[in-house]
Amino acid sequence: MKTKKRPASAPRRGITAPQGFRAAGIHCGIKKPGLLDLALVVSAQSGPIAGVFTNNQVVAAPVIVDRLHLRKGVGRAMLINSGNANACTGAKGLAAAQKTATSLAKQLRVPTEQIFIGSTGIIGRVLPVDRIVKGIPQLLMQLSEHGGLDAATAIMTTDLRPKSIVLQDTIGSRLITIGGMAKGSGMIHPNMATMLGYFTTDASITTHALQRALSLAANESFNCISVDGDTSTNDTVLCLANGMAQNRTITEGTAAFKRFLLLLTEACQTLALAICRDGEGVTKVVRIEVAGATTVTQARQVAQTIATSNLVKTALFGEDANWGRVMAAIGRAGVPLTPSTLTLSFGGVPMVRHGMGLGLEAERRIAKVFRQKEFTIAVGLGQGAQTAHMWTTDLSFDYVRINASYRS
Amino acid sequence: MKTKKRPASAPRRGITAPQGFRAAGIHCGIKKPGLLDLALVVSAQSGPIAGVFTNNQVVAAPVIVDRLHLRKGVGRAMLINSGNANACTGAKGLAAAQKTATSLAKQLRVPTEQIFIGSTGIIGRVLPVDRIVKGIPQLLMQLSEHGGLDAATAIMTTDLRPKSIVLQDTIGSRLITIGGMAKGSGMIHPNMATMLGYFTTDASITTHALQRALSLAANESFNCISVDGDTSTNDTVLCLANGMAQNRTITEGTAAFKRFLLLLTEACQTLALAICRDGEGVTKVVRIEVAGATTVTQARQVAQTIATSNLVKTALFGEDANWGRVMAAIGRAGVPLTPSTLTLSFGGVPMVRHGMGLGLEAERRIAKVFRQKEFTIAVGLGQGAQTAHMWTTDLSFDYVRINASYRS
């Protein structure tokens, strides 16, 4: 298999790297002057679109609109604002969201169902719809194949830097490009508690195959980092495909599908880890690996319980090799356990065997692992053959500072 | 109904206030010199004992021993050490725990099953059993009706102050006294991640009625504050009754049982709240009330999701009236919701009706509530008649500081 490539222009182009995509980011007046707050991504032709949304039952207006539009499975453009989440805003908020979509649809001369929208920012205030509608002509004027960076900047809230990715692979003798951009998750920058990811591709693929690939890829990436459990009202991942690479249309279950899935998964994982690493609050990114579970669900449950434990997260920040906290987290995960079959290691150094600590020498060795910026915590349940993994970050002074003082 | 009394000597006597109980606390050599680390409570005669233990599947040795001894339902003494949790210590740890119980039983000339033990401290190191066994004669020498404070001090880990309670009521024309002591929970001082509560009473009551009362009382108190989810390997609540008040033996379902239950519940709640309020890390204690749920389980799930949200907890610390975070927590609680029937208020001030924010004036009013040290967050789900409540605290710089630097 040919190695996947990241073209040199990747960071600059991002979501506009695939053929036929243009983007722009402007200041429309939601955030303070000078800050970009409105992004637009437009494809030269309509094509299949797939989406994955928040599980939160309190759902922001843009998510309601996108879910509705996704039923047709065809997209042309994605319009995203930052600074206002348009959540908990009732019928007014829904009307505002619909108006932005309708306005863009008219100017692009496409059905409203082909417009997808996203919002991130403060909850509970109705979207300043006039500012967005006013901004649309300016966005359309500025659309460019080099607008990826501006778009990635305009969707940021407390993110420190824009996050984008470009990956390429040859599928069916055609060069396929995937571009993407994302903004911080609740885990890292929970002010907004929103994680947004937008992908574009020039691959030709069926709507069904695209949805399947995006669901699987999100499961192995964005869903592995949403570890503080504070699922947002707005979380959204979308992927729009315009077929302009002119490959033979990818359908599910083929070798081409597998290659596309790998490419999209890598794109999603790269952005998910970029979300983890970005942010003043984060000093550690730790991978939790759970093996030996009876079911994948149980493996995930153990990984998630460790990943969301404040005791584990503060120990990571303090570089305190407090493996007892990991054991306690495993024990309360709600998964049937035999303590005597448990193993635990840090950065490959065994610390627990048969459920028992291996003593002070092992503690001294794992203390060194805790000083690394990124390492792996590996748990063996000793019950079955199923595995799961998850990334977590530490809980630092800055996490508290950023989140205690956001609005006031 | 006669008002329940707190005798003037309460803080000093605590667990030794009921007739026939003596206690002591000494330094046996687990902690640094000068710090009390071993507590003993002994009744003049054996009597019914009840217990409630951690749900964690990784269970410390003393909990294994206590559960076994509880099968007989009769107790004489409780021996508790701090500084070492004796968890994740396998067969060695279990043997150590048993040896301390056997040693005390011999010296008291009672069956080993009447000895109950507890440990709190670092996980993964076998209990220094010789130091404890050596300390027992000294403890027995020092046993006193005024030893309650020393005992309450000896079970502390990072607690700032000893926590004890005495409550009295007349039941069946006899004065009944309940004494109690507790140490910090995982939520507040998660270093040790252990919550211990010990109660004594001179009431005459059946083992069955005592167990029922303790289970119900713990559910309305200690189980309402274990809100960071980091259930310890060692959590234990015990209640020993010696019948020396010579009341007519209390059985379940009687008026006397109801009075006893009220008394025990108040004792448990007082200590549970004392645990919340104690600690450098805590600047806020907030009561979460959920009403209008279809089932109690669902009401609890919503209360717990809010109470454990790091975003909510940091907002409390920052006095940031960020009600959107509470809405997001409600939405992800895993309970079926109709967003349009949701209501939310802070300290009695309405902020959300029909799932929608009530605007800037309401925000200004709840901002004042957030400046209070203790207040209530009330959620209405608008679906049924079931309710639940829970206490939570804020997530502060000190929480991170204390927990990041405990061991190293």
Specify if B25 maps to a domain. yes
Shared domain for A259 and A185, answered yes or no, is yes
- Residue-wise pLDDT tens digits, A40-64: 999 999 999 999 998 888 889 999 9
Shared domain for B198 and B320, answered yes or no, is no
Q: Which of A236, A255, A277 is the last residue of a domain?
A: A277
Shared domain for A66 and A204, answered yes or no, is yes
Q: List b or e across B302-328, with b for residues whose CB sees 16 or more CB atoms inside 10 angstroms.
A: bbbbbbbbbbbbbbbbbbbbbbbbbbb
Stated as kind and residue range, the H or E segment containing A273 is helix A255-277
Return the residue in B298, B319, B325 with the most chain A beta carbons within 10 A, the one to mutate for interface testing.
B325
In the predicted structure, residue B189 carries a pLDDT above the cut 50: no
Lowest mean pLDDT among A19-28, A43-52, A75-84, A324-333: A324-333
Closest partner CB to B407 (pick from A57, A88, A322): A322
In the predicted structure, residue A365 carries a pLDDT above the cut 50: yes
For A112, phi then psi, to 5°, come to: -55, -30
Closest partner CB to B322 (pick from A56, A354, A407): A407
Do the Cβ atoms of A191 and A402 come closer than 8 Å?
Answer: yes
Within 13 Å and on the Cβ side, how many CA atoms surround A294? Answer: 6
Do the Cβ atoms of B96 and B126 come closer than 8 Å?
Answer: yes
B408/A329 touch (CB, cutoff 8 Å), yes or no: no
Shared domain for B299 and B183, answered yes or no, is no
Return mean pLDDT, chain B: 91
Size of interface A-B (CB pairs under 8 A): 229
Q: Which of B256, B277, B298 is the last residue of a domain?
A: B277
Percent of chain A scoring above 70 in pLDDT: 92
Q: Which residues of B touch A329 (CB under 8 A)?
A: 230
Specify if B5 maps to a domain. no
pTM of the prediction? 0.85
Predicted pLDDT at B9: 56
Shared domain for A321 and A173, answered yes or no, is no
Predicted pLDDT at A191: 42
- Residue-wise pLDDT tens digits, B240-267: 999 999 999 999 999 999 999 999 999 9
CATH number at A52 reads 3.60.70.12
Specify if B2 maps to a domain. no
What is the DSSP annotation of A354-377? TTEE--HHHHHHHHHHHTSSEEEE
Do the Cβ atoms of A92 and A126 come closer than 8 Å?
Answer: yes
Shared domain for B159 and B183, answered yes or no, is yes
Q: Which of B253, B277, B301 is the last residue of a domain?
A: B277
- Residue-wise pLDDT tens digits, A325-362: 899 899 989 899 998 999 999 999 999 999 999 989 99
pLDDT category at A77 given cuts 50, 70, 90 is very high
Shared domain for A247 and A322, answered yes or no, is no
What is the distance between the alpha carbons of residues B302 and B280, in angstroms, rounded to a whole number? 28
Shared domain for A382 and A268, answered yes or no, is no
- Residue-wise pLDDT tens digits, B294-306: 999 999 999 989 9
- Residue-wise pLDDT tens digits, B75-130: 999 999 999 999 999 999 999 999 999 999 999 999 999 999 999 988 888 899 99
Distance of CA A131 to the CA centre of its chain: 27
Answer with the residue of higher pLDDT: B315 or A189: B315
Helix/strand/coil for B54: coil
Specify if A64 maps to a domain. yes
Active-site residue list of B: 194
CATH number at B338 reads 3.10.20.340
Predicted pLDDT at B309: 87
Shared domain for B261 and B135, answered yes or no, is yes
Return the residue in A64, A88, A192, A381 with the most chain B beta carbons within 10 A, the one to mutate for interface testing.
A88
- Bridge partner list, B169: B176
pLDDT (mean) for A251-277: 95
Domains contained in chain A, number: 2
Shared domain for A150 and A231, answered yes or no, is yes
Shared domain for A132 and A229, answered yes or no, is yes
What is the distance between the alpha carbons of residues A388 and A302, in angstroms, rounded to a whole number? 9
Specify if B380 maps to a domain. yes
Residue of A54, A158, A194, A236 with catalytic role: A194
Specify if B200 maps to a domain. yes
Answer with the residue of higher pLDDT: B231 or A261: A261
Stated as kind and residue range, the H or E segment containing B268 is helix B255-277
- Residue-wise pLDDT tens digits, A299-322: 999 998 999 888 899 899 999 898
Give B303→chain A minimum CA distance, Å.
14
Predicted pLDDT at B280: 61
Shared domain for B49 and B155, answered yes or no, is yes
Q: Which domain holds residue A381?
A: 285-404
